Structure 1
Amino acid sequence: MDGYYAFMLVATALVLMMTVPALALFYGGMSRSKSVLNMMMMSYIAAAIVGILYVAVGWSMGFGGDAESGGTFFADPTALLWLDTVTTDSYVFVMFQMTFAIITVALISGAVADRMKFSAWVLFVPLWALLCYFPMAHMVFSCTADSLICGRIGAQDYAGGTAVHINAGVAALVLVLLLGKRVGWPREQMRPHNLTLTMLGAGLLWFGWYGFNVGSIVFTGATDEENIAQFFSETGRTFANTTLATMAAILGWLLIERLLHGKATSLGAASGIVAGLVAITPAAGAVDIEGAVAIGLIAGAVCAWAVSLKYKLGYDDSLDVVGVHLVGGIVGTVLIGVFSTADGAGGVDGLLYGGGAGSLGDQALGVLVAIVFSGVITAIIGLAIKFTLGLRIAEEDEVEGIDFVEHGETAYDLHSGMGGGGGGGKTGVLGTQPVTSEGAHA
């Protein structure tokens, strides 16, 4: 199946593009002008660190066992160390899973915008990948009987609702609680500085997500003919579901935004895109088209409402990672138990199709395990860094701007032609000024 390997090379490149540059642009545009470079750098450094670490030990921790072994929480970290025993034709699968690890870690960064030390982030990234993501990937993606979430519990997760989005969303919530609120939040409006970048990033995320979901097919057929038939059937389903759920989520988000705030915003549309993609990720192969549209519509509406919870509950999630990725991941994963069909990848009828509440219970338990595991591990890592290196920059540095303080640069040197400060100057010049408040979700 040479064509399949070519397809997976493209899918892998698409998923890597989701982090650099798509997520960097999406988050960068939502940040303030004095924080945009730091925000983008957090994605780029995550790609560099996690990529090397994944090849060194991550693949082994996730997949260092066969279908009858491998451990409940992680596989043998030394079995495939530095890919020593991996055949050359397996490199494409290693690289594909590596891109999942990269974007999961990078997603967390949006919650801590403006105030987390870059050095603390550089330390957090490998620790969290090693102790939290690699084990969670084994629990979900390894397909072994002993792995906890998709093995022992039996939950369905096609492409990472638990391992990627709930995992990252819980970690984001823990970190913002440890970091505390930004100076002036929520009293001051902290508006996205360039929504054009955010819209561009959202479009690239949507494009890259076809690699994310459609590339997650796992063959079960015994012959090449059966594998080929499964490939065309399953990839067609996941492609259509990914597309339609995202479209429905845009409509769901904008409807709630219009009802709650009287405006349908560009940031709402961009956020709806991501909410729909997040929710359909675990369900892409399990549901039919009607189920995909329903999941997208529900996720868009629920996430549009959920992002406002930070103002009521008092946690400063800068770019709404919790409201979109944690909530959207929960919605999509749990609703598999309602909308899945027996002719889907999991072969299970959900509640709506006469399958009873068993699958719904499995999905809910899988979500609970992911939340508890990620919350505990992230809290341990975050507290360790907080009381050693320290998590947060000084208050005066935050006010001045994390870009210049941490990187010695500013994103927009618009005064240079007027005798202003040059590349290292403290310009503080704002880009596009949206008419809505921070996140357009207040």
Structure 2
Amino acid sequence: MTKSDLTVIIVGLGFGGLAAAIECHRRGYRVIGLEKKPDTNQLGDIIGLSGNSISILAAWNDGSLGHLVDDDVTCEVTALELFDSQGDQKLAMPYNSNNPIQGYLFRRTGLLTRLYNYAIHIGIDLRFGVTVDQYWETDGSAGVYANNAKLTADCVIAADGLHSKARGIITGETPELRDIRVVAYRSIFDASEVANVPEAKWVLEKAPTADIFQTYYAEDTMVAMGTAAKGRYVHWGCAIRGSSEVKSEAWMQPATPDAILKRLKSVPAGRKLAAVVARTPPGKCFHQSLRAMPPLRKWVSAGGRMIVIGDAAHSFLPYAGQGGNQAIEDAAVLAICLELAGKKDVPLALRVMEKLRHRRVSLIQEGSMKAGDSFLNAAWDSEDESKRPSAFTHQAWVYTHNCVKHTYEEFHTAADAVINGREYTPTNVPANGEFCQDDCKSSKSI
């Protein structure tokens, strides 16, 4: 693509920030990426990327994911298995990573490291261990003070997460994060920890040729468990409703699995799961008190040269599996809007991006809340299919969306709405305004 004299500062180098850096670099912009952490290590277990973001990553390498995907970072899963609290299988969905509605399951840190390495390989200026102290903008530029040095650009993209420092400065909004009384636990560790434990070896049943991914739903408890890298790693995640022991809102804090083991004693299938959880090595368990963030009214600063994206703009609860996906969509759409508006009209680019994205992600935020209620109610026998955990497993309108194509098609319509103060009707959401469509209610229990 043609070289541009546009300069972009990106604050926060998680999935959204790195994707924004790469997407902007591909369009010829000068990119400065800033991250307060010393490296790319990100706590957590598994992240799923569906077709709506995978298509963006594939475009970086002429349609191939070879630079990101291999046995070390993916889960080679052939089916997603859903169980009730008794341990009875209720649903087994064939899984194919090439299906855009499903996509790939990655080790979180492994994928993030691959994105970082790719960004460095193509020459992007990424700086770690940098603290951003202030944000500023004028009519013609914007920037930050980082480690007491002033940096200047044409625009600033803040991708600094749920507890964003930039959000209040850029948008003027500091929404109260609602405690939903759910604590999430995560872990991933070397499979050798369970390899010689008879009651826990079941989790390695497909190693070393494939992986498993099983989810168990009980009242107020959900446990997802499986392997990664063809059985080289064991991962598990657990959501417990009704717990108030975690006071920190940080992304992940060190924990022990004691609370999970205690809860699993009351779950009929809990003994099987506890055998694996109990083998979690010290220092490999983390927890977080989940907080629900209401949609922001706006993402763009008053001067139009600073914007929040990803979790800083629209944090999701983990149930919809779209946090990383939507952050990557944000990145691609923003880079295209900057391309189409050009250096002469950066504020228009940012405001159009907000028009194109705001309703879509707000609806998915709402859906993540509904999915959580379904998962933790475990109403497998409900006559209302929408209340069963399986109701939220297929969302074609979310997973198959091509945000790149959509942005090129819709930019000028949205730009006209921005320039002339007209209402813009989004075309990347269902016409009925509902998160859960008929296709997501068609999964039948077995």
TM-score by shorter chain over 0.5: no
- Identify the TM-score tier after normalising by the shorter chain: under 0.3
Higher relative helix content: 1
Q: TM-score scaled by structure 2?
A: 0.27
Q: TM-score scaled by structure 1?
A: 0.27
